[in-house]
Structures are given as C-alpha cells and as structure tokens.
Structure 1
C-alpha cells in the first residue's frame, strides 16, 4: 500500500509530461537497456578464460603441470575440498556467467538477423557444454534453463556429447550465412578474439567437434577419419588460436589471472614430471629449448620440481635450492613489478584452443587408424607450433625438431611421443584437455613416461585408493540445493570424484 500511495501522490504532483521526464528512469539513450551481442561477448570471453584458470589451479595438480610448495596438500593427493566451491568455477561459468547471457545474444541476433552473432554464441556454448561435461561427467542438460524450477535432474554424458555436436553444426550453419545483418564490422565490435572473422570462428567450431569426436577414442564407435576431417577444417596455424586477451598494468581485474600481480599461483611450483620432460630425463638426454620458458632454475642453476604430496623442502628465503614460483620469482616477496613469463605474465593472452592441440589430436587419430605417415606429419607440426607459441628461436626450433627427442621416421613414432608432446604444448593453459587425455589412457606410465600418481597411502582418504576421474558438481548449488538429484546417480558418495566418466570407458 505504501508503494501505491507514494506513486499516486507523485502522479498528483506532476503533469503527464513531467512524469515521463522524471519517473521513467529505465530509459537512458546513452546507456541502452537491452543487452546486445557486442556488449555481452567481451565478458563472455573473460569468463571462458577465468573459468578454466580458476579450476586449473586444482586440476593442474592432478595432471602435474604444477604442485604445491607445501607437503600433503589436498589436491596434490587427488582429493577435493568438501563443503567448498573450490574447483567449481567451470560449473558457475557454464550455468551462470554464460547461461542466459547466451540466450540474450541469440534473442537479439534472431530479432535483427545477426547470424554471425548467433553463430559465435552457439560456438561458445558448444565449447562450454563440452568442457563442463568433460570436467564433471553427468551434468544438467534438458532442464538447465527452465524457468521457475528449483530442482534439476542430471543427464548422461552421452546425451551432452550428442548435444554438443548438434549445437556446433548449428553454429557452423549460422556462421556460413551472409544474409540479414551479417557484417564483419558489426561482429568485430564485441569480438576481441577474432575481430569479426567468421572463417576463424568456423575453424574454432571444428576444433570443438574434433575434441568431441576424439575424446571417445576408447569406444567402438570411435571414428578416426571423422576426427582427422574435423582437424583439417579447424585451426590452420597459430594465427587461428582462440586467445582471450588481458592487459598489464592499471586495473588488476583486467590482468591475466595467472600473472604475478594477481598472485593466484603464489604457492604453486613446477612439477618434477614437467621438469623431467624438459631436462632430458625422458627425451633421450635432449634438453628442450622450452625449458627456460616453461620452467625456472633454482638460484643455484639447477632445475627442480615438486613431487606430488612432498612439497618443496627448501621453500625458504635465501635457500639456493628453492624452487621458484611459476612466473620465475625466487623470493617470498611477490610484487606487481615482477614481469612474469610465458602464460604467467600479467598481459599474457589465455588460449582456449590452439593449432598445436589440433595437430596432436590429428596425430593421435591417425596413429590409432594406422596411418603413421599422417600421424608423423601432424605430430611434427604440433611440436613446431608449440615451439613457436612458446617463443623459441628459429635456430633452436630447427635444432630440436631434428634431434633424437623428436621421432624422425613414421616407423619409430609411438603414442607416447604424441601424447607427451601434446602435454608440453598445453602446459599452463590446456589443463582440462590434458586431464581428458590422462583419463582416456587411465594415467598410464607407458603413455606418459615418468608420470607417477600418488601412491595408495598418499591419496586423499575419500578416494579409497583410487585416482581422480571427475570433479564433483559445484557445492553451493548442487550439494546445498539439489542434493536429492545427486542421489539418483551416486553423486553424494564421498568417492564420487573417482568414478570413471562415460567418455573414457570402453
């Protein structure tokens, strides 16, 4: 009644024209009230990167890109933080940060025939559905965005995979349209990744399809020819990489989440496994030219890495054996003046998909098919692209490609060669994809030479001696509000994170 009385009083005090002038506060010609695609795309890109980066902090320990400077850290033990949203940001990104915002872009695009915007939005969502199910396993698909619903049932991963294929094909259809209001200049207003170039968006979508088709390599339905075809239509060079830009200096919220200014990786250290791939222990005594870029030597000049659960026993100031931070800092004092290195720089872009990854996917598919000539060519192209991305000099690149660390003959190529080089190409940014690969090969030390998960006595107690195969759904939405739905498929079990997902099963 108070609102009605106040409104009636105001009407009695102002004329109709003055009501329109003073009361219609939702109309501002300088600030549109309807969200258009060009306004929504930039924050979507940022959230794509942040979602992966937030959660890669934890999964990076599972795959041993890095481990903790402290001993017996939970994620080093392949555990999880109960009653916490840690490692739940991909879930949040998919269902909230993207979610209805994707629909807003699609609604605006449909109304104005901006098929390039609808294609880009569908591409982003296809990527997000793929990433989210690969990360969590069963997720909410059919009921996800139904209004006025508070309990949501889960769908199988197989259904989500099929939906990704459908959505990706729809994206390609839209991106190929030239009618209506399709315009590179228009799309470029919000497209900070590809500048409105629809041909690169189409390549990105084929990359999503390549991931989708290759992730089921353990199944009888796996079709390597289809994977290779998708790869051939996908990214053609590093110029096609899907890079989310960040800026250095000024506003820290615009800086790379992995950079030294934001210090989100302050207690993280390079792993011994990563160091072993670069220092010659695994690759026939050949020191990888990426060693200086992907890792940092201790003050005494020796490259060291953390073994999971053991921490860094020398983690004190002035100890010359201390393992540096990921951005190269060897002091406990972390300042904004630290420039960082590689993917760990404040202004470094964060790649969502790279040409190197596509080449390694192609190499693996061709190897499984038995076409070792194609596999060798793609494998070598992937290594070259990775070296270029890391900033290796042309001289060092040529020397490494001709070395004993790289298979020179098709007959000599092994699946471990492909997967270990893919691992190196994705260090720091392709961690979710790397975890997919490790799970597909069931953490095999024959494929991932030198990779040693924590022993049964070192694993997190809830694991019951098993390795991690999925991340539990986001705590604050599912375990607080949707717990009954979790019961239907065992999501409340303490060791649910060790249950193998559909995609890696035979």
Structure 2
C-alpha cells in the first residue's frame, strides 16, 4: 500500500500544473461536499448491518441463537480478527464522519431537521457501541490529523448520549429555518421526515440510557417512565429499517438469500418461553400464539431448541433435527415451496432498531422498581400485546381469540399484586428476540446474569444457563463486553488500549460500569 500512495503523490505533483486534467475537487463525478439528502439513506442500512453482523456471535451469548456455531455461545472471542467488531465499525466508519458532514451541511442551510436526524443517529451509535464494548472514543473521535485516540469512560459516554439526544430533540422542535418534512422525507427511509416520530425515537434512546443504570445511586425510575411516555406511542412509531429482498444485495442479512444463518438453530430458552415452561413452571401448559410465527417444529412436529455451546437439546443428538431461525430444515418451508424465511428472518423483513413493545417493558421495569405496581402491570400488558401484534403482522395472522386467550392465561400475570420482575424481564426477552440483541445483553449484565442486581433482584435464575465450559480465556467468568475492533484499534491504537486494560487476555470479562454499584 505504501508504494501505491507514493506513486499517487508523485502523479499529483506531476499534474499540479495541469488543472483541467487533474483536479478532483471540480470533478462533478466525485463531489467533495455531498448533500445531506444523498448521505442519509445508506446510514440506515449501516445501522442494520452493524447489529446483524455482530448478532451472529452475540446471539449465542444471550441464547437467542444456538447450534454450537461459534465462540459466542461459550462467551469467547477470536484473536487477531474483526469478528464481533461490526458495531464498532458502524459507529466510527459506517456512520461516523458522515454524520458530521450532514450536520455541517445542514447547519449552513438551516435545515434543522437534518441536523436533528444526524444527531439522533450519533446518539444511537454511541449508546449501542458503549453498551456493547464499554469504554469507547468520543471526545477525540473524528479529530482531523489525529492518529492516536484516548478512550472515554462509559459514564462519560452515557452523559454525552443524553446531551446529543436532547440537542436532536431541540433541532427537531425548531420551526425556523429552511428544513421541511418534504425535504427530509426524500432521504428518510424510516419516518418519512416526520419530526414528531424522530423526537419519540430520541426519548426512547434516553429511556434506554436511564434504564441501564439500575445499579447506580443516581438511578431514577420516574425519569425512565417520563422518557417512555414521550417515546414510541404504538407500533406505528417503530423504527424499522426496510429491505427490498429481491436479490442478495438488497435482502435482509438474516434472510435465506444471504444464507448467513444456515448453521444456526433456535434455542431451548426461546422454545421454553413460547410453550410456557419458564413463565408457568410447566412445559406445554400455555402455548404462546406467537410460537408458529417465531420458531418452527422439528420434522416430527416437536418443538426443540439447543443448549448453549452444545447444539443438543437433550433428546436429540443431531442438531440438524432442530429448525434454524428461517423455520426450515432444508430448501423448503414446512408448508412447502421456496424457503423465504419467517418472522424477522424473511428476505424482505424490515429490521427493528426500536419498538413500542420494548419501551413498554422499560416502563414496566421502572414502575415495578419504583413500587408502582399498577403502572407496571399496565405497561407489562401493553408490551405483551404490542409484541403479539408485531409478530402477527410478520406472518400468519394471530386471531383476536388467540390473543385474548393468551392474555388471560397463566403465562401472563392477571393482577398487579401477582406481577414479578421476572415476568417483566422474560416477556421483554421474548419480545426482543431476533433484533434487540444488545438491549437484551444489557439487561442480562445489569442483573449480572443469574447473580442479581445491587438490590438482589434476580429475574433470570433457572432460565438462563451458562455453557458447560467457558471459553478458555474466561477464567470461569461470563462475557461482559466485546473488544474494540481489531483492525483499527489493536493495530493502530494499542497504547490507548493498554490504558484501559484491553490488552489483557480476559478483558472481555471485565464488568461494565452500568452493572456495578
């Protein structure tokens, strides 16, 4: 590469006096100041890509995916590899400087809604990256002529997310300037320029941010509730990244056309939540109406799932007898025909970045911790109901009778007095299946998996089970974070990594700031 750069530099000098032949700054085919409307649409694909790429590993850690496919299920990591580094890449490359270009361009044009959109995506990217990785680079990120970057504490990153999200809300609330919904709608593939929905999304980010700090003295459940009440108000407000699904290049990364999940299998915990095992204590006591849309039976009609890191559900030794997330065991669906996938694993399925259902479970958890059981119960029911409607819209329609029967079943607590934190968190875990990978991992870690939080709340006991053996570098400890991306950080920024201990072999087991008292 170095030789190529030298040659290009020499050519640049040689042609310096021949402006009409060699001046890319005036070449209309390579604009140096791209407009915001051209930069925005690809950013949504980057958001989806980052989460889905890394979900192949994280999905195993949180036990959404199984099949003993990779080190994710055993809480491991891969040395000298960018594996598990796609969310990092999204933050600093996929979105990164593009967001700053949009902000600069739109400020000059007084298009405040474009500024707000870029700020909203920046807040999202910093939040998901710190929740995934821990300490990240914020203050020095994107500084010109800088080649070494220092890491910021997670506490500082959380504060920065709050600042940026509030700035975005303020810009979307402005009525002056040249920005209009019509101008933004041209580029906005998610909300079609609707400022009110972007404001709700920002409040959703603030709710996630505040909800993660349950172990801190500063945690305020009422703040979470207030944020949620201003966030997504129904499934119509869901943040969904669209996929055309006509060819591999524009298809859902999780769909059969892309074939990225061919070796993955549905898990014991998902099967157990959908058949009532972990919600009622009795297997098969209540069949969730979402089950047929979200997962599939084996060829003998029995619903099975894998154990973490094993790929064996206990009664079947061949993992290929267990359906993968596409809902098929070969080239055809159980109903016959081409394998087009099911639920969020269809070629044309949109990918959720945030849903109303998630927001309601955040509110239920906060209200429960506050001691307001009536509010907690109402939000809990809203979360389940919205999830059923969301799943129904993505597959075979769930009838009103089926939904009513489930909402009145033993899997759903019928009164505020009988509601537990476990009920809330397990229904949230189920609702986020297939998309809320980092949020679910944040929940597992803030409750310290099966150890419990600072107050002893322990919603995942007897549900989440660790693999029979951890990855060799763990020292018997669960994974708490991923590592910064290898290609950019461990090659070019190693000294900064050493300052935060990321050069240590078990760095990925160091607890997050938000999970510690």
- TM-score when normalising by structure 2: 0.90
**Corresponding residue of 1:114:** 111
Q: 1:163 aligns with which of 153, 156, 160?
A: 160
Q: From the superposition, tell whether residues 2 and 504 of structure 1 become closer, same or farther in structure 2 (CA, over 3 Å).
A: closer
Is the 8 Å Cα contact of residues 210 and 231 (structure 1) preserved in structure 2? Answer: yes
Partner of 1:16: none
Equivalent residue number for residue 396 of structure 1 = 402
Partner of 2:249: 253
- State the alpha-carbon separation in 2 of the partners of residues 330 and 157 from structure 1: 42
* Structure-2 change in CA distance of 1:2 and 1:158 (3 Å): closer
Residue 294, structure 1, aligned to residue 331, structure 2: no
Cα shift readout 1:418-466 (whole Å, capped 9, x = no counterpart): 00000011000001100000001111284125434335x6100100000
Map 1:9-48; keep pairs closer than 5 Å: 19=20, 27=26, 33-48=32-47
What CA distance in whole angstroms lies between the structure 2 residues aligned with 1:57 and 1:425? 19
1:104 counterpart (101, 116, 124) = 101
* Distance (Å, rounded) in 2 between the aligned partners of 1:33 and 1:119: 22
2:234 maps to 1:228: no
Instruction: Note the 1:75-474 alignment, pairs <5 A.
Output: 75-249=72-246, 251-284=247-280, 285-312=285-312, 314-315=317-318, 322-331=321-330, 337-391=338-392, 392-444=398-450, 446-455=458-467, 458-474=469-485
Q: For structure 2, list consecutive stretches of 5 or more residues without a partner in the other structure.
A: 1-9, 393-397, 452-457
Secondary structure of the 2:265 match is strand
Scaled by the length of structure 1, what TM-score is found?
0.92
Q: Secondary structure at the match of 2:252?
A: coil
Q: 2:67, 2:319 within 8 Å by CA — same for their partners in 1?
A: no
For the residues of structure 2 that align with 1:267 and 1:3, how far apart are their CA atoms? 49
Retained in 1: the 8 A contact 2:16–2:22?
A: no
User: For the residues of structure 2 that align with 1:195 and 1:183, how far apart are their CA atoms?
Assistant: 11
Task: Measure how far apart 1:374 and its partner are.
Answer: 0.1
- Aligned to 2:277, the other structure's residue is in SS state coil
The worse-fitting range, judged by mean Cα deviation, of 424-433 and 440-449 is: 440-449
CA distance in 1, matches of 2:404, 2:236: 20
2: CA distance between counterparts of 1:6 and 1:488?
Answer: 45
Q: Which SS does the other structure have where 2:122 is aligned? A: helix
Q: Distance in 1 between matches of 2:501 and 2:486?
A: 15
Deviation at residue 145 of structure 1 after TM alignment: 1.2
Q: Distance in 2 between matches of 1:447 and 1:4?
A: 66
User: Residues 397 and 112 (structure 1 numbering): CA distance in 2 closer, same or farther, change over 3 Å?
Assistant: same
Could you tell me which runs of 5 or more consecutive residues in structure 1 were left unpaired when the two chains were aligned.
12-18
Q: How many angstroms apart in 2 are the aligned matches of 1:431 and 1:381?
A: 21
- Contact 2:482–2:508 (CA under 8 A) maintained in structure 1: yes
**Mean Cα deviation higher: 252-261 or 228-237:** 252-261
Which 10-residue stretch deviates more, 188-197 or 485-494? Answer: 485-494
Shift of 1:151: 1.2
User: Which deviations, in whole Å up to 9, do the C-alpha atoms of 1:156-185 show, x marking residues without a partner?
Assistant: 000000000100110000000011112000
**Aligned CA distance change for structure 1 residues 449 and 187 (closer, same or farther; 3 Å):** same
Query: Aligned pair in 2 of structure 1 residues 444, 2: CA closer, same or farther (>3 Å)?
Result: closer
Tell me how far apart the structure 2 counterparts of residues 466 and 162 of structure 1 sit (CA, whole Å).
29
Task: Say if 2:15 and 2:22, in contact at 8 Å, map to a contact too.
Answer: no
Question: Deviation at 1:241?
Answer: 0.3
1-side partners of 2:11 and 2:124: how far apart? 49
Deviation, structure 1 residue 23: 6.5
Deviation at 1:378, TM superposition (A): 0.2
Q: How far apart are the structure 1 equivalents of 2:15 and 2:500?
A: 53
Aligned residues of 1:261 and 1:336 also touching (Cα < 8 A): no
CA distance in structure 1 between the aligned counterparts of 2:32 and 2:485, rounded to whole angstroms: 32
Deviation at 1:488, TM superposition (A): 1.1
In structure 2, C-alpha distance between the alignment counterparts of 1:435 and 1:5, rounded to whole Å: 55
2:332/2:339 contact within 8 Å kept: no
Deviation at 1:60, TM superposition (A): 0.8
Maintained 8 Å contact 1:282/1:449:
no
Does residue 55 of the first structure (1) align with residue 57 of the second (2)? no
For the 8 Å contact 1:273–1:450, the answer to whether it is kept is no
Q: Secondary structure at the match of 1:40?
A: helix
Deviation at 1:5, TM superposition (A): 5.8
Q: Structure 1's 58 and 316: CA in aligned 2 closer, same or farther, altered over 3 A? A: closer
